[in-house]
Amino acid sequence: MATKEETLRAMIAPVVEALGCDFWGLEYLSSGRNALLRIYIDRDETGVTVEDCEKVSRQVSSLMDVEDPIGGEYTLEVSSPGLERPLYTLNQFLRYVGEDVAIRLRFPYEGRRNFKGRLNGVEGEDILLIVEDHEYLFPVDSIEKANVVPRF
């Protein structure tokens, strides 16, 4: 059975792509009666504009009204992934090899869930992370949240 996020991703990604944007990912957060659906879009050539966000928001809102996959009140946000862009897929991790990333695991490993280090590569379904001269291999499915750490 698909999770709520998987169902939403399958519904929303084709709409975003049809509007000429790249579907980067989404976050679905629910607490009681309130829910938040945050959609990240990207564009390689020009970057994301306010107009892109507005177009996607209108189309996704219409889709959500018809399909009603959340079944209650929710807030819809559409934005670019930004400098601290979240990473969801192996292909996204591949694009940021050599960059610093922060990850939070679903379950503790060696007594901790949060790791921050240099993304050293991808092997199969795992990411390689260098943290203080120690190399870790984490299955992408074990990662709850990952973000690029911007350099200034």
pLDDT in tens, 36-45: 999 999 998 7
Asked if 11 and 52 touch (Cβ cutoff 8 Å), the reply is: no
DSSP state string for 19-39: TT-EEEEEEEEEETTEEEEEE
What pLDDT, on the 0 to 100 scale, is given for residue 40?
A: 97
Considering only residues 40 and 152, tell me which one the structure prediction assigns the higher pLDDT: 40
What pLDDT, on the 0 to 100 scale, is given for residue 1?
A: 67
Q: Which residues contact residue 125 at a Cβ distance below 8 angstroms, ignoring those fewer than 6 apart?
A: 90, 139, 140, 141
Domains of the chain, earliest start first: 4-79 (3.30.300.70), 90-148 (2.30.30.100)
**pLDDT, the chain, mean:** 93
Considering only residues 76 and 34, tell me which one the structure prediction assigns the higher pLDDT: 76
The identity of residue 68, as a single letter, is: D
| Tens-place pLDDT, residues 47-104 | 899 999 999 999 999 999 998 888 788 999 999 999 999 999 999 999 999 999 999 9
pTM > 0.85: yes or no: yes
Q: Which residue has the tokens 């911007």?
A: 150
Closest CA to 109 of 140, 136, 147, 148: 136
What pLDDT, on the 0 to 100 scale, is given for residue 77?
A: 96
